[in-house]
């Protein structure tokens, strides 16, 4: 709606100019009335009315900005319009109006070009699904699908919602979601992610999540959120507003005083119009957000880029962030010579095979399938463990107090499950976090990118946390923290080490992500509370994207600053030329359009690839 309003302003100004030209040259319009030396023919009245309305509109916006504590450069545009009205230079006034409304239209166009990756994602949103009812295909809206429905996905079609294959085997392209370039083969029982594209074979899928909760729709929601805050982009230009306005008014005032001609002041004000300055920051920042999207990072607002570019402290959650959301077997320790390590792990995994607990599933995953045997008389004791019969033996797996009372003095500092067989303590299995292969390199690169402090915030035990931190290359470790203590740790970061960026993936990370200056969520697993609370969401399962986010932010802010300063420099040079009186107001307005084009072109450079140094790939 805002963009449409801007376009209509531009169209109205063009129509006023066309009517004015016809009135002046074709119909030879004469003055309807005069005030002093000023003549007011029809074309002048038409353009002056439009100019006054535009000036009033700008003044209302300026007044609103002042009430919210913002001091922009729009006042110069108002002064330029009023000046040309007062000196009676109608066509210079019209060119200023073209410049103002045309500059806004050019900004919208440039923003649209910079934002095309985001729009492409929205355009691909699946809307229709082939629902199977009694073997017949019925086309329904994706939003009408319910959990438990069966959907047919034809070759080349997008998966409409998250689900599970019940019939058929095919390959699926998930590149738009995860960045994986090679299609993945999916069989009956495998999970399908909405937004992935089916290969050559039709499959039937059971819906496991409604559309609003599915993967692709959660990404779309994040993209829409990232598009909702364009007004904040101008803050960067506002930092230069007061000095630029003062300098321009001084140049114009001195030109008037030296020449004794008010026209000279108007000529300077025309070229001092702030359009290039206002366009520079938005185009660069939207280009940066678009570049983020192309790297599978959704940024929700422009200020996030500014904070990321200046960030000095980075904090990470441990499980699911620095490590994969999976444990691996570290040691198998037997306490009974009747069992070797292989048999002990086999018995434990067999009993745990039906449990959904992360420790149980990790143990089962780490055990050879041939070693996992059927279990009978399975019983689970909440928060304690499980027990059952395997190959004629009664096996208990879980906490030490549940498995073998009386052995509580056993000191095992790692994450462990304990095992007893036929009522006798048989040993224990320790598990450790599986480090993401890219985590150590990510930490190293962050230091090269300017990070002054990197810390790990986790609720896990001290020994486990320190072991992971050492492997990742982090020395500042805060362990055994409650969510409230994580928030306090962020608040305690001194001012000279801010902004603070924290990366996490779980529901318990959501408060911390909100408390930090920038919260980044690992959102590859779907829409979580962490994703909703974050300022940016990494849509692939790759923590090195934090490096990409920092690099793109630094590159974007560098381009934006260069663009703004270039716009100011060029405009001031033109003002100084106008000071001499060699640039009539009309041609000064045309020069401003040239500066607008230069500004937009520079802003779009934010979409180019950052340097290796910004990516943290070069040694300092």
Active site members: 317
Integer angstrom CA distances of residue 450 from 40, 59, 323: 62, 42, 23
Strand ranges for 174-260 from DSSP E: 184-186, 191-192, 197-198, 203-207
Q: Which tokens in the block code for residue 46?
A: 């038409």
Nearest by Cα to 16 from 40, 37, 43, 34: 43
If we measure between CA atoms, which residue out of 267, 281, 373 comes closest to residue 591? Answer: 267
Q: Are the C-beta atoms of residues 496 and 490 closer than 8 Å to each other? A: no
The angle formed by the CA atoms of residues 61, 66 and 70, to the nearest 5 degrees, is 95
H helical segments located in 366-412: 400-403
Q: CB under 8 Å to 84, separation ≥6 — which residues?
A: 51, 90, 92, 93, 96, 266, 270, 585
Whether residue 137 contacts residue 174, with contact meaning beta carbons closer than 8 Å, is answered with no
Concatenating the DSSP letter of every residue in 552-568 gives HHHHHHHHHHHHHHHHH
CB burial readout 584-595, b (16+ within 10 A) else e: bbbbbbebbbeb
- 568/237 Cα distance (integer angstroms): 10
Whether the upstream peptide bond of residue 499 has omega within 30° of 0, thus cis, is yes
CA distance 69 to 85: 30
Direct distance between the N- and C-terminal alpha carbons of the chain, in angstroms, rounded to an integer: 47
Please tell me the distance from the alpha carbon of residue 548 to that of residue 550, in angstroms, as a whole number. Answer: 5
3-state secondary structure of 579: helix
Rounded distance between C-alpha atoms, residue 158 and residue 140, angstroms: 14
């Amino acid at each position: 709606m805002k963009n449409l309003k801007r376009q209509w302003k531009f169209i109205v100004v063009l129509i006023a100019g066309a009517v004015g030209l016809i009135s002046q040259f074709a119909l030879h319009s004469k003055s309807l009335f005069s005030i002093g030396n000023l003549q007011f023919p029809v074309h002048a009245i038409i353009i002056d009315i439009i100019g006054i309305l535009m000036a009033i509109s700008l003044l209302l916006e300026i007044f609103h900005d002042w009430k919210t504590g913002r001091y922009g450069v729009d006042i110069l545009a108002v002064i330029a319009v009023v000046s040309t009205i007062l000196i009676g230079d109608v066509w210079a006034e019209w060119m200023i109006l073209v410049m103002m409304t045309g500059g806004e239209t050019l900004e919208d166009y440039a923003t649209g070009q910079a934002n095309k990756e985001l729009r492409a994602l929205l355009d691909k949103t699946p809307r229709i699904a082939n629902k199977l009812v009694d073997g017949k295909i019925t086309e329904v809206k994706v939003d009408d699908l319910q959990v438990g429905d069966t959907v047919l996905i034809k070759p080349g079609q997008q998966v409409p919602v998250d689900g599970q294959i019940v019939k058929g085997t095919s390959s699926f392209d998930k590149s738009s979601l995860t960045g994986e370039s090679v299609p993945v083969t999916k069989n009956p029982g495998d999970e399908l992610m909405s937004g992935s594209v089916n290969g050559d074979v039709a499959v039937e899928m059971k819906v496991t999540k409604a559309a609003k909760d599915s993967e692709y729709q959660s990404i779309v929601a994040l993209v829409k959120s990232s598009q909702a805050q364009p007004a904040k982009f101008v803050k960067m230009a506002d930092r230069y507003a007061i000095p630029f306005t003062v300098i321009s008014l001084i140049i114009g005032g001195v030109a008037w005083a030296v020449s004794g001609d008010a026209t000279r002041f108007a000529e300077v004000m025309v070229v001092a119009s702030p359009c290039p300055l206002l366009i520079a920051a938005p185009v660069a920042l939207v280009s940066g957000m678009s570049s983020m999207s192309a790297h599978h990072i959704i940024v929700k607002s422009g200020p996030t880029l500014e904070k990321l570019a200046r960030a000095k402290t980075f904090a990470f959650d441990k499980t699911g962030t620095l490590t994969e959301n999976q444990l691996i077997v570290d040691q198998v320790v037997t306490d009974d010579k009747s069992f070797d390590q292989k048999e002990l792990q086999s018995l434990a995994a067999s009993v745990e095979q039906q449990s959904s607990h992360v420790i149980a599933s990790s143990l089962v995953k780490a055990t050879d399938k041939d070693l996992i045997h059927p279990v009978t008389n399975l019983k689970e004791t909440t928060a304690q463990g499980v027990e059952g019969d395997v190959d004629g033996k009664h096996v208990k797996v879980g906490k030490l107090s549940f498995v073998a009372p009386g052995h509580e003095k056993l000191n095992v500092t790692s994450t462990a499950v304990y095992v007893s067989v036929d009522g006798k303590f048989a040993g224990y299995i320790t598990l450790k976090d599986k480090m993401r292969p890219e985590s150590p390199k990510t930490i190293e690169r962050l230091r090269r990118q300017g990070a002054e402090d990197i810390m790990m915030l986790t609720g896990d035990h001290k020994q486990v946390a320190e072991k992971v931190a050492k492997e990742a290359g982090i020395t500042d470790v805060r362990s055994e923290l409650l969510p409230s203590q994580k928030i306090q740790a962020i608040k305690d970061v001194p001012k000279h080490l801010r902004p603070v960026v924290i990366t996490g993936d779980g529901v318990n990370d959501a408060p911390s992500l909100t408390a930090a200056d920038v919260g980044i969520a690992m959102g590859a697993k779907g829409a979580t509370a962490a994703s909703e609370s974050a300022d940016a969401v990494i849509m692939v399962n790759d923590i090195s994207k934090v490096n990409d986010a920092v690099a793109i932010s630094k590159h974007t802010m560098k381009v934006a600053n260069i663009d703004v300063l270039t716009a100011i420099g060029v405009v001031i040079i033109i003002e100084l030329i106008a000071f001499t009186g060699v640039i009539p107001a009309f041609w000064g307005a045309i020069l401003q359009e040239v500066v607008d084009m230069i500004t937009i072109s520079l802003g779009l450079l934010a979409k180019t690839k950052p340097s290796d140094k910004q990516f943290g790939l070069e040694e300092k």
